């Protein structure tokens, strides 16, 4: 990565939702007095049942939607006042439905589209396309027409095209939908790499295992506001299971296993294994 590219990826703004409500034109109240603050460089999984407002929430971050009431701030500045082009340079959003996002005739043109709009050309553009393709495992598909790809690969392409913009805030709406285990692992690596580069990563997900394994913070939404918010070990701890289940969510399997065995809150494979090793009598 060039020095100029690296510099552009560093300064993620603080995000604040202040009493944000949003109603769609047909009157559906999708967000209801939502408060949420996300610090630069955090990795946040947003979970919640269908229709709880997750996609509506993230669309407020790139100016696709504007609050009916309340404010969304970045570094204290109301995003309403930020020009859409400036917002696009700060916030990259991979849509839940890739077909709403993909528009070019080849994989290469698709990935170039965003960075070109930011004024990126030449060797840096080529470098970004290559890095984005490598990150999602689509190297070698440069000339493929996106519409000849299956859903899971179109989804990865949509992620790659947003990755190539190197925005300080990266948002992935349901990135693991349709992915097999390898695809989920790839998306996990994308999250980890972006976080390591100092970017803020926000992902909407139905996959509690992915949320627990790959994110430092889990926000549970219910009826347009935040029901639970904390580290995976807090949110998936046994006392919160009734609340999770009320939102149609099941805690990840290691959390259930750890609780059954009296090991405390073990939301991930690694925390469960560590607790089991601690418990095991010395061998030999
Ligand atoms: N364009 C729209 N017009 C009217 N209502 C909408 C529109 N988009 C979403 N909604 C409604 O707003 C509410 C929140 O929708 P949203 O898509 O934000 O939920 P979600 O949590 O992302 O759901 P899912 O898990 O199904 O993707 C739902 O009741 C939904 O039906
Ligand atoms: Mg959604």
Query: Which of 23, 25, 34, 53 is the pocket-test mutation for ligand 1 (most atoms within 8 Å of CB)?
Result: 53
169 and 272 share one domain: no
The mean pLDDT values, 10 residues at a time, for the chain of 284 residues are 47 96 98 98 97 98 95 96 90 93 92 94 96 95 94 96 97 96 96 97 97 98 98 98 96 97 96 93 63
Are 272 and 190 part of one and the same domain? no
Query: Which residues form the domain of 96?
Result: 3-251
219 and 257 co-located in one domain: no
Specify whether 220 is located in the same domain as 113: yes
Give, as one character, the DSSP assignment of residue 39: -
Residues 279 and 223 in one domain: no
Structure confidence at residue 4 (pLDDT): 46
Q: Do 270 and 131 share a domain, yes or no?
A: no
Question: What does the chain come to in residues?
Answer: 284
Count: domains in the chain: 2
Distance 23 CA to ligand 1 centre (A): 10
Whether 248 lines ligand 1, by a CB cut-off of 6 Å, is no
Confidence at residue 11, expressed as pLDDT on a 0 to 100 scale: 85
Looking at the fold, whether 273 and 171 belong to one and the same domain comes out as no
Alpha helices in the chain (DSSP H): 3-8, 54-59, 84-90, 107-117, 122-136, 151-163, 181-196, 208-214, 232-235, 241-246, 253-260, 269-279
36 is written with which tokens? 């949420």
Residues 223 and 110 in one domain: yes
113 and 174 inside one domain:
yes
Helices (H), 2-53: 3-8
Q: What is the pLDDT of residue 6?
A: 45
Output the domain CATH number for residue 132.
Answer: 3.40.50.300
Which pLDDT belongs to residue 7? 44
Paired tokens of 168: 């300080």
Asked if 142 and 272 sit in the same domain, the reply is no
């Amino acid at each position: 990565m060039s020095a100029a590219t690296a510099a552009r990826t560093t300064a993620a703004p603080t995000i604040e939702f202040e009493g944000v409500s949003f109603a769609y034109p047909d009157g559906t109240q999708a967000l209801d007095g939502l408060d949420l603050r996300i610090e630069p460089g955090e990795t946040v999984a947003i979970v919640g049942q269908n229709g709880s407002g997750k996609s509506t929430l993230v669309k407020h971050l790139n100016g696709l939607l504007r609050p009916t009431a309340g404010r969304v701030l970045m570094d204290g500045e109301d995003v309403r006042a930020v020009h859409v082009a400036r917002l696009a340079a700060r916030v990259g959003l991979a849509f839940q439905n890739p077909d709403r996002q993909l528009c070019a005739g080849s994989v290469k043109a698709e990935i170039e589209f965003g960075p070109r709009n930011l004024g990126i050309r030449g060797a840096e553009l080529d470098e970004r396309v290559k890095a984005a393709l490598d990150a999602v495992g689509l190297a070698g598909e440069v000339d493929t027409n996106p519409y000849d790809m299956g859903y899971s690969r179109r989804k990865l392409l949509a992620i790659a095209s947003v990755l190539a913009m190197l925005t300080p805030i990266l948002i992935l709406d349901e990135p693991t939908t349709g992915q097999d285990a390898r695809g989920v692992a790839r998306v996990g690596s994308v999250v980890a790499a972006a976080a390591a580069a100092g970017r803020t990563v926000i992902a909407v997900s139905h996959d509690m295992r992915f949320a627990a394994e790959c994110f430092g913070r889990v926000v549970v939404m219910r009826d347009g506001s935040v029901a639970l918010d904390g580290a995976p070990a807090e949110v998936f701890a046994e006392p919160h299971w009734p609340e999770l289940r009320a939102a149609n969510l099941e805690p990840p399997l290691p959390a259930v296993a750890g609780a059954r065995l009296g090991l405390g809150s073990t939301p991930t494979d690694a925390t469960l294994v560590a607790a089991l090793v601690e418990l095991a009598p010395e061998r030999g």
